[in-house]
């Protein structure tokens, strides 16, 4: 079984690829090039389900409490990271509302905010938080937490939904980001 922190890193790579899709959609909109507006709800659904319901739950319920047990002083940083998760939820709700209102200027404005927030957030977790977790967690703890991540994964999303989200992610990344 991969270590718990590697599971989180791999999900960051998957989410980052999808942020690349948002960046490409935004660039096309800004340049006046065509993009498929009908892709936007699917992309937003990926961020709601995979990035928030699944990935953030894994961090909030499994990884962060483990870091906190080793280092109570990390509370301040973890609070800031939790605030980021909450901010991203708010921005995704703004994007969803703008899509429902068929208002591209509003949703691309919110998309721009989401891209900056999510990129900065993942960079901080990859460069600061995960190395800290690697330093604190023993190999046994990493394995134990990895097991907890698998259990949570199965609880949050059905296998069919994971497959559908992953398939969609690959398809849309191919379509927007293949050079």
Residues contributing to the site for Fe ion (CB under 5 A): 59, 125
Nearer to Fe ion, 25 or 118 (CB): 118
Min dist CB 147 to Fe ion, Å, is 19
Min dist CB 82 to Fe ion, Å, is 8
Residue length, the chain? Answer: 179
Min dist CB 11 to Fe ion, Å, is 7
Nearer to Fe ion, 28 or 124 (CB): 124
Contact between 29 and 176 under an 8 Å Cβ cutoff? The reply is no
Distance between CA atoms of residues 71 and 150, nearest Å = 24
Q: Which residues contact 58 (CB under 8 A, 6 or more apart)?
A: 7, 8, 11, 149, 152, 153
Min dist CB 3 to Fe ion, Å, is 15
Distances 159 to 55, 153, 156 between C-alpha atoms, Å? 15, 9, 10
Contact between 56 and 85 under an 8 Å Cβ cutoff? The reply is yes
Nearer to Fe ion, 86 or 158 (CB): 86
Nearer to Fe ion, 59 or 98 (CB): 59
Q: 32: which 2 tokens?
A: 């006046």
Nearest partner of 93 among 79, 120, 113, 121, judged by Cα: 113
Q: 176: which 2 tokens?
A: 């927007």
Q: 89: which 2 tokens?
A: 């939820």
Nearer to Fe ion, 59 or 67 (CB): 59
- Residue 102, CA atoms < 13 Å, CB-side half-sphere: 1
Min dist CB 85 to Fe ion, Å, is 6
């Amino acid at each position: 079984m991969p270590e718990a922190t590697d599971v989180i890193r791999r999900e960051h790579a998957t989410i980052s690829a999808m942020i690349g899709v948002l960046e490409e959609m935004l660039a096309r909109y800004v340049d006046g090039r065509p993009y498929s507006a009908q892709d936007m709800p699917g992309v937003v659904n990926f961020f709601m389900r995979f990035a928030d319901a699944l990935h953030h739950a894994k961090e909030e319920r499994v990884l962060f409490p483990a870091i906190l047990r080793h280092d109570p002083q990390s509370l301040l940083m973890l609070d800031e990271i939790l605030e980021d998760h909450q901010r991203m939820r708010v921005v995704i709700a703004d994007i969803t509302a703008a899509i429902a209102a068929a208002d591209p200027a509003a949703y691309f404005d919110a998309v721009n905010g989401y891209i900056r927030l999510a990129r900065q957030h993942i960079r901080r977790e990859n460069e600061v938080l995960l190395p800290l977790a690697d330093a604190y967690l023993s190999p046994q703890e990493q394995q134990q937490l990895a097991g907890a991540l698998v259990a949570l994964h199965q609880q949050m999303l059905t296998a069919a939904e994971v497959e559908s989200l992953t398939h969609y992610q690959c398809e849309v990344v191919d379509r927007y980001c293949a050079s």
